[in-house]
Amino acid sequence: MINDPPLIRLRRHVPRPTPEQVRALQGTPTGYIVDALQGRAALVCTVKPVVPEQAEFCGVALPCYVGPADNLAVFAALPLIQKGDVVVAAADGYREAAVVGDLVLGMARNQGAVGFVTDGCVRDVPGIREVGLPCFASGITPNSPVRNGPGTVNLPIVVAGQTVAAGDIVIGDTEGVVVIPYDLIDAVIVSLEGIRAAEAALLARVAAGLGVPEWVEKLYQDGRVQEV
């Protein structure tokens, strides 16, 4: 027998990256972040911007677990939002009801949030566009949730294939959402210096006419490509 859990379990005091760390990552393409994290950092491809022209954000994760067809944890998270936070709501991928709509997103924006991400659905797209808060979801439905709980706030969650903990940095753009674990923030910032330089150098070579990279030519020269 399972005892009834508390409606919400939350943690108030959590690690946070410095403003300097966040600024160092702002405007970085999500693909660069993935490269700095060995090719794996993005939420599954179904999580996309609800309003494509409102896709870019970079902020500190405020994770909450809402579960299917519920959003009590999002409301419980509102008082904990700090300026620059990204509310990340795990709904177990449930897509038969919306997690939030434009009104809740407006409240989160008013509290200082810079983004909202869920593996569930949202509703009220015209209003979301008016609110202007970048919102990523796996779908849209007018069906509404309940506020029953249980749920969690500022405890680790798994959302769309990625673990998200309080204090992680979350970045979104038109290609998707990536997560930088708190303990890896400085390492990613350092790695990005080389990644940006390499991307710029290769871009210049492609613009100048590069058609076949040297490593592909070497495959032929070494006999590792065989005609059949």
Alpha-carbon distance 151 to 9, whole Å?
6
Residue 1 has pLDDT above 70, yes or no: no
Q: Please, are residues 80 and 63 in contact by the beta-carbon 8 Å criterion?
A: no
Residue 10 has pLDDT above 70, yes or no: yes
pLDDT given for residue 24 in this prediction: 97
- How many other CB atoms are there within 10 angstroms of residue 77's CB atom? 27
Residues 146-177 pLDDT 10s: 999 999 999 999 999 999 999 999 999 999 99
pLDDT given for residue 27 in this prediction: 96
The dihedral through the CA atoms of 31, 37, 40, 43 has a sign that is negative
Residue 4 has pLDDT above 80, yes or no: no
As a whole number, mean pLDDT of residues 168-187 equals: 98
pTM of the shown model: 0.93
Residue 73 has pLDDT above 80, yes or no: yes
The 121-122 sheet, strands edge to edge: 98-100, 121-122, 139-140
Q: Please, are residues 169 and 59 in contact by the beta-carbon 8 Å criterion?
A: yes
Mean pLDDT of the chain: 96
Nearest to 138 by CA among 34, 44, 31: 44
% of the chain exceeding 90 in pLDDT? 94
As a whole number, mean pLDDT of residues 16-45 equals: 96
Phi then psi for 178, rounded to 5 degrees?
A: -125, 155
Residues 47-72 pLDDT 10s: 999 999 999 999 999 999 999 999 99
Alpha-carbon distance 163 to 48, whole Å?
18
Q: Please, are residues 159 and 63 in contact by the beta-carbon 8 Å criterion?
A: yes
Residue 180 has pLDDT above 70, yes or no: yes
Residue 137 has pLDDT above 90, yes or no: yes
As a whole number, mean pLDDT of residues 92-105 equals: 97
- Token pair, residue 74, equals 């999002």
pLDDT given for residue 75 in this prediction: 98
pLDDT given for residue 5 in this prediction: 72
Q: Please, are residues 78 and 101 in contact by the beta-carbon 8 Å criterion?
A: no
Residue 2 has pLDDT above 80, yes or no: no
